[in-house]
Amino acid sequence: MSPEEFRRYGHQAVDWLADYLEHIRERPVLPPIKPGEFTDRLPASGPEQGEPMEEILADFDRLVAPAMTHWNHPRFLAYFAISGSPPGILGELLAAGLNSNGMVWKSGPAITELEQVTLGWLRQWMGLPDSFAGVIYDTASTSTLHAIAAARSVAAPDSRRAGSPPGLVMYCSAQAHSSVEKAAMTLGIGQDQVRKIPCDADFRMCVDALAAAIGQDRAAGLVPFCVVATVGTTSTASIDPVAAIAEVCERERLWLHVDAAYGGSAAIVASRRWILEGVDRADSLVTNPHKGLLTPVDLSAFYTRRPEALRAAFSLVPEYLRTASDPRATDLMDTGFQLGRRFRSLKLWFVMRYYGREGLAAIIDGQCNLAQRFAGWVRDDARFELCAPVLLSLVCFRLRGSDEASQRLLERLNAGGAAFLSHTVLDGRFVIRLAIGNHQTGPGDIEDVWRRIQELAAGA
């Protein structure tokens, strides 16, 4: 492709994106498509000869876009809703063009240093201690895997050579994300060695039950080594009592990892910083700018005040990657199992500079306030019940009565294409989740979705 062609098609692609973002409300959030239908529309084999770019772009518009679930839609209110903001999209585009690989400082000086600079800014914005060193990974699942590997390297320093010793046990709440268990599966600790500590009525880890479980495991000759607390659980956005959990971890000498994948971003709002109370006593923390901070998927920010434990778990330098040492040169390959890493921090830098802390905080605060408004409507309608406290931008609710009525309501709402909400199960009951996280979601969207829900409830 010549530079002139690249320029022309590049402009077309950005024009397509600008139109997409401007008119996204005209698209159904969920595509009316069945599994396999998209594949059936594509040729069974790849082309022998190259095809004109016009046709590729036309097929993207004709085939790919209509088969997408639109996460950037203001009425995407499922899971944890997100935003790929225009500045973030441009950062991603430029990073792809540079196509550099930040394995070591020398292979990507700006990749390495911008990662540390942006994570330093974010650390300040979230009020985390200066001693927290940051690393960017793709997802919170990967960040948590690295936290648990670092914790294991402290508890069992020989594990990198000899493998996981038997008897290691770790703890999280019954509401923790499945990524905690998956990390235990991946690291050879095993699902059976993950204790799911019960929660109180507000879905927060019971600290007494945690202390009791640790005591029982020690009495049985097992080796407790790590606790994962959550700030913003996936089902309800509940916040574990991190300070009290830190107390237990300090007493028992256990690594404390805080999963703030969703909740952490809200700490950049000064009045909401309390959500991270006690986190300064944690050994590590993850938060996902690709969830709350308008940064396109994927970008997960991991912090630890024990970077030496991370290196002890992962540093392995073959001759072909050896470079001259310099006190200011960090080699990011030493901070995880992957060697190559793309330039993720560029999009975060664009977002942080374009909006500033105040701009981002105003958006997050607005989303939390919208969630409160929605919760108020639910509370005032006797047909519905709120199922969990609304602390951030997530509302859990259901129709009073049978699960089937709420299930049917959600299916019919989503099938209409005007919005997409998801569900969870709490205390054995089916619950609808409305998660506000897109920067274009406004009061009009929420009012309209509530009106539709009321109409469906009337016909239920």
Ligand X SMILES: Cc1ncc(COP(=O)(O)O)c(C=O)c1O
State the residues that interact with ligand X by CB under 6 A: 80, 139-141, 177, 179, 230, 232-234, 259, 261-262, 288, 300
State in angstroms the smallest separation of the CB of 234 from ligand X: 4
Token pair of 138 as six digits: 């793709």
With contact defined as beta carbons under 8 Å apart, do 262 and 232 qualify?
Answer: yes
Give me the least distance between CB of 136 and ligand X, in Å please. Answer: 12
* Both tokens assigned to 2: 């010549």
Given a contact cutoff of 8 angstroms between Cβ atoms, the answer to whether 125 and 268 are in contact is yes
**Least distance in Å: CB of 139 to ligand X?**
3
Closer CB to ligand X, 239 or 453, in the complex = 239
Q: Residue 228 or 332: which CB sits closer to ligand X?
A: 228
Angle at 57 between CA 51 and CA 58, to 5 degrees: 95
What gap in Å lies between CA 414 and CA 421, rounded to an integer? 7
CB of 180 to ligand X, least distance (A): 8
Rounded (10°) CA dihedral 397, 399, 404, 407:
-40
- Between 295 and 414, whose beta carbon lies closer to ligand X? 295
**Reduced to 3 states, what is the DSSP secondary structure of residue 180?**
helix
Nearest distance from C-beta of residue 140 to ligand X, angstroms: 4
SS3 sequence of 249-299 = HHHHCCEEEEECCCHHHHHHCHHHHHHHCCHHHCCEEEECHHHHCCCCCCC
Q: How far is the CB of 388 from ligand X (least distance, A)?
A: 14
Q: Is 344 helix (H, G, I), strand (E, B) or coil?
A: coil
Name the residue nearer to ligand X (CB basis): 111 or 140.
140
Nearer to ligand X, 240 or 334 (CB): 240
CA distance 67 to 64: 5
Residues 6+ apart with CB under 8 A from 266: 232, 272, 275, 292, 364, 368, 392, 393
Which of 141, 265 has the CB closer to ligand X? 141
Q: Which is nearer to ligand X, 104 or 276 (CB)?
A: 276
Residue whose CB is less far from ligand X, 187 or 409:
187
Looking at residue 51, the DSSP 8-state letter turns out to be -
Q: How far is the CB of 296 from ligand X (least distance, A)?
A: 13
Is residue 72 a contact partner of residue 441, using CB atoms and an 8 Å limit? no
- Which is closer to ligand X, CB of 75 or CB of 177? 177
Q: Amino acid identity, residue 145?
A: L
Nearest CB to ligand X, comparing residues 91 and 292? 292
**Phi first, then psi: what are they for 34, rounded to 5°?**
-100, 155
CB of 121 to ligand X, least distance (A): 21
Residue 350, both tokens: 């664009």
196, β-bridge pairs: 172
Residues 6+ apart with CB under 8 A from 279: 128, 231, 242, 258, 260, 285
Least distance to ligand X from the beta carbon of 312, Å? 24
Closer Cβ to ligand X, 28 or 278, answer by number: 278
CB of 361 to ligand X, least distance (A): 21
- DSSP letter, residue 161: H
The residues pairing with 284 across neighbouring beta strands, listed in sequence order, are: 257, 304
Least separation in angstroms between residue 262's CB and ligand X is: 5
Which string of DSSP letters, residue by residue, matches 402-416? -HHHHHHHHHHHHHT
- 332: closest CA among 91, 120, 132, 109? 109
